[in-house]
Structure 1
């Protein structure tokens, strides 16, 4: 058997993704290579796909686990089995992993498919339609559990839009109340109205963003002007202080204002005397010491 797999990340809760995927009969409305999915009952369905040739089979559901996994097994036609697993990556992110195994058809059609690289074409088709599923979910209203609520149904590449569906699929769609001309007309009108509302909302948001941007730019300009004025003021003050210091340094000292004059006024006689060189370093020995008085030698000493 040949095995294929594909994965996609869907920006939606796992329960919503699981529920929307189980609507097999809606696959032709947004997928390109699925031409028919009709139900025999709640467990059995009939499938028609077109990948380098048209293939059919009946399938029965098996190994279904709510919000986690669905599986199937063919009972007639192209022999195949498959599983789809759902993993919640977050509140609004779900990983969808598809695994398919099938036995290639024998005879000229199977040989022709192998010659033209049917396996690679099937992989590309599987990835493409899985991406279509992700977009269908993401363009459905929040919490919607019916694919008919999605705006992505009947896009230009879908089998239903191109008319590339089987008569049974067409008849099943015509029996669906949501596919009546009136229902489809109401759906299109609703989609157009919602698109207009989205455009208006986007325009309002763009205007608000522009207003905030202009307000922020004005605030930054005002702040820059304040900083520039403060810098000029500081420079002016520095120049004035420097000029004051320069002028003060150029004025000769008045002898009346020297330390000597001040000390003399206080009666400090030393204030008028020249200091010895080491006065500043050792004030205790700065005075000129008196000459020692040499006394006469005591009697009896030699």
Structure 2
């Protein structure tokens, strides 16, 4: 497995950044090569990307998700990939730092060469920069999914809050 780690600061509060990130269907608007992302249910996504002139598809499951903190995923079919994005509030509460950790298994000589030449890392960095531009320039910021996922356990944020009040 090859890994890529990237960090970017976004000039918006963490809730806005997190909400936009959970709108997976919007990824093709700022992620180069991503043709579509379909959210099948709160934990499963179906990806279609164009890499090196080849179409790749896979399904991924989100196995950890905490609102305004993190989202972690791994592929369950197709291309082998996994990753985690952590959201960190900066001192002024008006900026968010994103830490992205991505792992994937390059297929074939072309993908291995692209990774060795730094082309994949450059694409990931470009995608994060486009995400920053996309969200900072947005006129309207959408609501995101505020549920919690812990290894096959899904709870909506409202259920979590109600449970805390009952205790």
TM-score class, shorter-chain normalisation, is 0.7 to 0.9
Unmatched tracts of structure 1, length 5 or more: 148-302
Q: Is residue 17–residue 94 contact of structure 1 (8 Å, CA) maintained in 2?
A: yes
Q: Normalized per residue, which structure has more helix?
A: 1
Which string of whole-angstrom CA distances, capped at 9 and with x for unpartnered residues, describes residues 16-53 of structure 1? 10010110111112222211101222211101222323
TM-score, normalised by the number of residues in structure 2: 0.78
What corresponds to 1:112 in structure 2? 110
Please tell me whether residue 2 in structure 1 is matched to residue 2 in structure 2: yes
| TM superposition shift of 1:146 | 5.0
Inter-partner Cα distance in structure 2 for 1:55 and 1:78: 7
SS of the aligned residue for 2:132 comes to: helix
2:119 paired residue among 118, 121, 125 = 121
Runs of 4+ displaced beyond 6 Å: none
What corresponds to 1:263 in structure 2? none
What corresponds to 1:85 in structure 2? 86
| TM superposition shift of 1:59 | 0.5
Inter-partner Cα distance in structure 1 for 2:31 and 2:13: 21
Q: Normalized per residue, which structure has more strand?
A: 2
SS of the aligned residue for 2:31 comes to: coil
Please tell me whether residue 65 in structure 1 is matched to residue 66 in structure 2: yes
Unmatched tracts of structure 2, length 5 or more: 145-167
Inter-partner Cα distance in structure 2 for 1:70 and 1:4: 16
What corresponds to 1:145 in structure 2? 142
User: More relative contact order in 1 or in 2 (CA 8 Å, sep 6+)?
Assistant: 2
Inter-partner Cα distance in structure 1 for 2:75 and 2:111: 21
Aligned length: 141
SS of the aligned residue for 1:7 comes to: strand
What corresponds to 1:97 in structure 2? 99
Inter-partner Cα distance in structure 1 for 2:110 and 2:105: 15
> RMSD value over aligned CA atoms?
1.7
Inter-partner Cα distance in structure 2 for 1:112 and 1:14: 37
Inter-partner Cα distance in structure 2 for 1:11 and 1:42: 27
SS of the aligned residue for 2:64 comes to: coil
Q: How does 1:89-238 map to 2 (within 5 A)?
A: 89=90, 90-105=92-107, 110-115=108-113, 117-119=114-116, 120-141=118-139, 144-145=141-142
| TM superposition shift of 1:136 | 1.2
Inter-partner Cα distance in structure 2 for 1:55 and 1:4: 19
What corresponds to 1:37 in structure 2? 37
| TM superposition shift of 1:62 | 1.3
Q: Is residue 12–residue 92 contact of structure 1 (8 Å, CA) maintained in 2?
A: yes
| TM superposition shift of 1:8 | 0.9
Q: Is residue 51–residue 121 contact of structure 1 (8 Å, CA) maintained in 2?
A: no
